[in-house]
Amino acid sequence: MAAGTRTQIRSVEGFLALDSRANPTVGARVVLEGGAVGEAIVPSGASTGTHEAVERRDGGTEWNGKGVSGAIAAVGGELATMVVGMDATEQRLIDEAMIVADGTDDKHRIGANAMLAVSLATARAAAGALDVPLYRYLGGVGAHRLPVPMLNVINGGVHASNNLDIQEFLIIPHGAATFGEALRWGVEIYHRLRSELLAKGHSVAVGDEGGFAPDLGSHEEALELMVAAIEASGLVPGRDCSLGLDAAASEFWREGRYVMVGQGLELEADGLVEYMARLVDQFPIVSLEDAMAEEDWDGWSILTERLASRVQLVGDDIFVTNPGLLGKGIERGVANAILIKLNQIGTLTETLDVVDLATRSGYRSVISHRSGETEDTTIADLAVGLGTGQIKTGAPARSERAAKYNRLLAIERELGPGARYVDWTRAQR
């Protein structure tokens, strides 16, 4: 069988899966003429930007309105009809065909969840047909850099039912020699933090992404506990392991002001910038994500001018993995990094293009999970394949999060002496 025939798409099937919040989501199975099979399952977010590509949901009463039967039908119907017979290695042509067929700016007709499932399953099938791991298929022979994990160990905001307004408190073990060592440090800190919380009488129930979700007196108390856990693990805060925050500020943006109910604060944009700056002064914070709301471009400008020389400023809701919005940010000089979520844009090719634009413009890219995750490990391969050097995929607990870490450990073993782990924070010291 000729190589081209072997990689032609023979069939496409959609299926239902559950995400980590017990909501239905979309999966796709792509079979090639040579027998290779690729499967992918799409995640779902809770803290979502208003400009994200649209998840297609059924509404109605089944699954509490969150059903995806329409999206699954689109996978096995309209999208299958379109891509069957195409060469799976022509990822750009396949993705562009789906985008054109949808015909909307936000993919609401067919659904970004349906399109992404087919896009990712196609890439997996192509990699299988060529007998290479997905990271190698995506990144070629240069794919060898393991990402620094950003582990969400305390959850707040919409990811937890507590009094913390900031959504994610992250530990970043950037000073390790290898990914395996970094993950071990992260796990040890996570367990030390659990012990510290218990000793102080706090709950150790976890939020959507596996981080603890206690009621604490302040954001500062959360950060103090994290620093103490790093030190109790025999590590040096700021040298071995630093901190990060995902404020998800759009969630507490109210008519032009930032209202942090749990902290008893109501601030203008410049006030929130100064609040964040004080936290950076007090604690070894190296990354701030969504520290301003997605519509507050002026606030982002103030933030960038104030803190870009000191910390990584990651845009998630403001950019939503969209080249147009990232281009606007580059033009206005806001942020210096972008969070990359596949389902915000809806196809693999568009995601690759956004990472390329960011890299060419001097912005870092952080590959990210969503709060509603599955056992799909595509983002682990994506981080290595693109060499972005950073990944956010939750605490080292809950199997849908651990699956990504376990995949990265497997990739590190496979790469052997060729694996590299690079401390990206050195560039901003």
Please give the structure tokens belonging to residue 32: 């090639």
Rounded distance between C-alpha atoms, residue 122 and residue 89, angstroms: 8
Please give the structure tokens belonging to residue 245: 């925050």
Widest distance between CA atoms in the chain: 68
Of 33, 55, 107, 341, which residue is the catalytic one?
341
Rounded distance between C-alpha atoms, residue 176 and residue 109, angstroms: 46
Query: Is 51 labeled as ligand-binding?
Result: no
Please give the structure tokens belonging to residue 28: 């796709």
Query: Is 159 labeled as ligand-binding?
Result: yes
Query: Is 316 labeled as ligand-binding?
Result: yes
Please give the structure tokens belonging to residue 297: 């471009």
CA atoms within 13 A on the CB side of 342: 30
Q: Strand 257-260: give its sheet, edge to edge.
A: 253-254, 257-260, 265-267
Of 39, 209, 251, 412, which residue is the catalytic one?
209
Distances in whole angstroms, Cα of residue 163 to Cα of each of 158, 166, 214, 260, 265: 10, 9, 8, 9, 12
**Angle (nearest 5°) at CA 44 between 124 and 73:** 65
Please give the structure tokens belonging to residue 246: 């995902």
Please give the structure tokens belonging to residue 269: 């944009």
Q: What is the 3-state secondary structure (H, E, C) of 158-199?
A: HHCCCCCCCCEEEEECCCCCCHHHHHHHHHHHHHHHHHHHHH
Query: Is 144 labeled as ligand-binding?
Result: no
Query: Is 107 labeled as ligand-binding?
Result: no
Query: Is 341 labeled as ligand-binding?
Result: yes
Query: Is 289 labeled as ligand-binding?
Result: yes
Name beta bridge partners: 338: 315, 365
Query: Is 106 labeled as ligand-binding?
Result: no
Rounded distance between C-alpha atoms, residue 52 and residue 65, angstroms: 20
Judge whether 414 counts as a catalytic residue.
Answer: no
**Residue 47 CB neighbours (<10 A):** 19
Name beta bridge partners: 26: 16
Distances in whole angstroms, Cα of residue 396 to Cα of each of 178, 300, 313: 17, 31, 24
Distances in whole angstroms, Cα of residue 285 to Cα of each of 237, 303, 310: 9, 15, 9
Judge whether 209 counts as a catalytic residue.
Answer: yes
Query: Is 371 labeled as ligand-binding?
Result: yes
Query: Is 361 labeled as ligand-binding?
Result: no
| Residues contacting 259, CB < 8 A, separation 6+ | 252, 253, 265, 266
Q: Residue 380: helix, strand or coil by DSSP?
A: helix
**Residue 12 CB neighbours (<10 A):** 24
| Residues contacting 304, CB < 8 A, separation 6+ | 313, 333, 334, 335, 336
Q: Which residues are annotated as a binding site for Mg(2+)?
A: 246, 289, 316
Q: Which residues are annotated as a binding site for (2R)-2-phosphoglycerate?
A: 167, 341, 370-371, 392
Q: Which residues are catalytic?
A: 209, 341
Q: Which residues are annotated as a binding site?
A: 159, 167-168, 246, 289, 316, 341, 368-371, 392
Q: Which residues are annotated as a binding site for substrate?
A: 159, 168, 289, 316, 368-371, 392
